[in-house]
Amino acid sequence: MVAAVVGPSGAALAQACCAGGSALTPARLQLHEWAAVGLESRATVDTGSFDPAGNYVPNPAGSSEVDLEEDLVGSVRFLDRGQVSLDVPWIGTNRVIRDQGAFGQGLGDVNLGARWDFLQAGESEHIPGIALMAGITVPTGRPPEAATPPLLADATGIGAWQFVGGLALEQTFGHHLVVDLAGLVSQRLPRHVEGIVSTLGVQLFAIGGVAWAFDGGQALALSATFTGEQDASIDGVTVPESGRSETTVALSGLLPISDDWRIGGSVLDELQIAGLGRNLPIGFGFTFTVLRTWS
């Protein structure tokens, strides 16, 4: 969510500022780039879950879950200040509950997004960069009702169309520090399953991050993301205590390989603190990204 910035003091320092933004969002186009394509890998080990009251409950003895994801990502710039992106995920889950185990995989829900920067970070000393974001998620994954019982490990999607909109504010300080704040709202359309109409609650996302870029183009970033979801409804009736939430912190890094290639990675932790989540499994994990860009 952090905009790439071209500084006024030379190419080397400009590249450092761009690296700060890319450390937070590796697939984001820098200002001098018009296209990018890459692969992002993600692995998460669940250690427990939050109950409806927000208490953390460790996994029962003999139970475990490892979630794997491979995302083919691409972005293209248009009209200088805009860019569109595509994310095609392949999702795998290895789930064990007591004496039963299952592994499932398949295509996930495809995401299409767009961003327009009305004001780039660093263009004004007093006003931060302002960007409008929008996206749509297509239910191409396997929904839970079509997954294999009893563990449903091969479910790869939510089964509903999803629409997202939001606003991002970002600013650079000097030639090395990048700060970003963003908020997004997501709405899922109703689903008709065996004569029942179910609708997931409205989702709210709050994202904050800071990044430090080095003159050589490397960068480190620290970010936090809160995801909250209102109660779901069935046939128009709200289901009490069905809302979900979690808070994730991540430490990310960026390493340029050449003018056209860069790699990035992160370690993340879904915080096991009472009150910071509800009705979701949580754990820790990592990501690794390889990106090819064109300028």
Q: What is the pLDDT along the chain (295 residues), one digit of tens a residue?
A: 332 322 222 333 334 446 555 666 667 788 888 999 999 999 999 999 999 999 999 999 889 999 999 999 999 999 989 999 999 999 999 999 988 999 999 999 999 999 999 988 777 778 898 999 999 999 999 999 999 999 999 999 999 999 999 999 988 888 888 899 999 999 999 999 888 999 999 999 999 999 998 888 888 999 999 999 999 999 999 999 999 999 999 999 989 998 899 999 999 999 988 888 999 999 999 999 999 999 8
Question: Distance between CA 103 and CA 93 in Å, rounded?
Answer: 6
- Which residue has 């990018």 as its token pair? 36
DSSP structure string for 183-221: EEEEEEPPEEETTEEEEPPPEEEEEEEEEEE-TTS-EEE
Question: Distance between CA 130 and CA 255 in Å, rounded?
Answer: 27
Asked whether the beta carbons of 240 and 3 are under 8 A apart, the reply is no
DSSP state of 16: H
Domain covering 11-294: architecture: Beta Barrel (2.40)
CB atoms within 10 A of CB 288: 14
Alpha helices in the chain (DSSP H): 11-24
Kindly give, in sequence order, each residue whose CB lies less than 8 Å from that of residue 246, ignoring residues fewer than 6 positions away: 50, 226, 227, 270, 271, 276, 277, 280, 282
**Beta-strand pair 237-238/110-119:** unpaired
Give the per-residue pLDDT at 218: 87
Q: Where are the domains of the chain?
A: 11-294
CB atoms within 10 A of CB 275: 13
